[in-house]
Amino acid sequence: MANTPQSKKRARQNERRAAVNKARRSRIRTFLRTAEEAIASGDKDAAANAVRAAEPELMRGVTKGVFHKNTASRKMSRLVARVKALG
């Protein structure tokens, strides 16, 4: 349990940041799931648009510290490769 005023403040800040990060991670996963579903449907145009929409969200997660840069790059690379394979 936090005892000093500073540690109490840090605990409050950590709770707020955790909530923001959780919402951002959820939003990114939704974009990725949409892209996965579009790829699974076999519609190349829809899949390309979904991947194009997912990329900025994923990279924003990197700048905000939710995902590691290499993780986001790997996910994007694999999605783009799967979209290319549809053609």
pTM of the predicted model, to two decimals?
0.86
Given the candidates 3.40.1390.20, 3.90.25.10, 1.10.3720.10, 1.20.58.110, the CATH classification of the domain at 5-86 is 1.20.58.110
pLDDT of residue 2: 81
User: Are the C-beta atoms of residues 79 and 35 closer than 8 Å to each other?
Assistant: yes
Amino acid at 33: R
Where residue 65 falls (left for φ over 0; alpha for ψ -120 to 50; beta otherwise) is left
**Is residue 87 over pLDDT 80?**
no
Distance CA 40, CA 42 (A): 5
pLDDT digits (tens, 9 = 90+) for 19-78: 999 999 999 999 999 999 999 999 999 999 999 999 999 999 999 999 999 999 999 999
Distance CA 14, CA 20 (A): 10
